[in-house]
Structure 1
Amino acid sequence: MADDTVPRSEADSTASVLTLAAIDIAPLRALLAAHALDLVVVADGEPIPGSYWGEPEAGLIGHRVYVRGDTPVHSALHEACHLIVQPPERRAAVHTDATDSVAEEDATCYLQIVFAAALPGVGSERLMRDMDAWGYTYRLGSTRAWFERDADDAREWLVERALLPV
């Protein structure tokens, strides 16, 4: 098996995260399809359309999530969840930047952690560690602490919209 990590940046080569090349993407593709989203894999070295943060981060255009093998799993899930938390009529207009509010951003982060549990070889624990390594920041100091002790508002937002898996 090929190395399953990619450095966060040249400035922090010790931080590594799980990439799409290291997992079977079929379950991710099925998860997105269940929410009327398409996962589009671009060739290694090719630009990722709609990437807000730049490559290797996932990109968004309409109902499509663009990724490469070196795209971090957390990035693919995060961008997909941005689309999932939006009403379908807003999805068509999305190009690169999908955030509408702090509440949507929090719901997106919460949902990506929940969805990671359903992906073989990923899991919520690994995803939260990768989110920390990549630079997500929360008041309580870690993604796990936020998810377990400070995310009630995000969970409620998702429940009100029937977006949490049963």
Structure 2
Amino acid sequence: MTATAEAEPQVTRVGDIDFNDAVALLDRHALRLHRVADGAPIPGSYWGEPEAGIIASDVYVRNDTPVHSMLHEACHLIVLPPERRALVHTDATDSVPEEDATCYLQIVLAGQLPGVGSTQLMADMDAWGYTYRLGSTQAWFEQDAEDARAWLVERGLLGA
């Protein structure tokens, strides 16, 4: 999901954090993070700039890419088995369980990213326009995401 360029909300952007921290976090999941020049097209961006893009095991961002977008697209790749990951270009899945698992995991990984944290990421997701039936990302994460968590645990992507 993206906001229009004129009305983009204030959220944490890739340029606001230490890029090397993001590289290291994604590297732990066998992903490569690439910084695209300011104003240049972002390869593999489903929603268009400034949203992150994905192609196979590569995640593409600019300094103005929201951190939640970088993590969301990276998590789409993390939840896929390697043989499916290799085939990804721009659109990772149409599976609701995978989408839910991706949203959950991006919040967890934000907690491992210095300068961001899970609470900030959830606020950024709300500001950007993610919607959940309980009214906020945090309410969903804390009260309604058992299926997403179980999906991740079952696949060895989260501890029990």
TM-score bracket, normalised by the shorter chain, equals over 0.9
Partner-residue secondary structure (3-state), 2:50: coil
The match for 1:9 is 4
What CA deviation, in whole Å up to 9, does each residue of 1:101-150 have, x standing for no partner? 10000000000000001111100010000000101010101000000000
In the aligned structure 2, how far is the partner of 1:105 from the partner of 1:57? 16
| Conserved? CA contact 1:8–1:16, under 8 Å | no
Structure 2: gaps (5+ residues): none
Determine which of 54, 74, 78 is the counterpart of 1:80.
74
User: When the two structures are aligned, how many residues end up with a matched partner?
Assistant: 159
Runs (4+) of structure 1 exceeding 6 A deviation are none
User: In percent, how many aligned pairs have the same letter?
Assistant: 70
Conserved 8 A contact 1:42-1:66: yes
Q: In structure 2, what is the equivalent of residue 141 of structure 1?
A: 135
Question: If each structure's strand is expressed as a fraction of its own residues, which one has the higher value?
Answer: 1
Equivalent residue, structure 2, for 1:51: 45
Query: Which secondary structure does the structure 1 equivalent of 2:89 belong to?
Result: coil
Whole-angstrom distance in 1 between the partners of 2:79 and 2:109: 13
Structure 1: give runs of 5+ residues left out of the alignment: 1-6
- Stretch moving more, 20-29 or 101-110: 20-29
How far off its partner does 1:12 sit?
3.0
Report SS of the residue matched to 1:60.
strand
The aligned counterpart of 1:62 is 56
Kept in 1, the 8 Å contact 2:153–2:159? The answer is: no
How large is the RMSD of aligned CA atoms in angstroms?
1.5
TM-score w.r.t. the length of structure 1 is 0.92
Q: Which has the higher contact order (CA 8 A, sep 6+)?
A: 2
- CA distance in 1: counterparts of 2:127 and 2:143, whole angstroms: 20
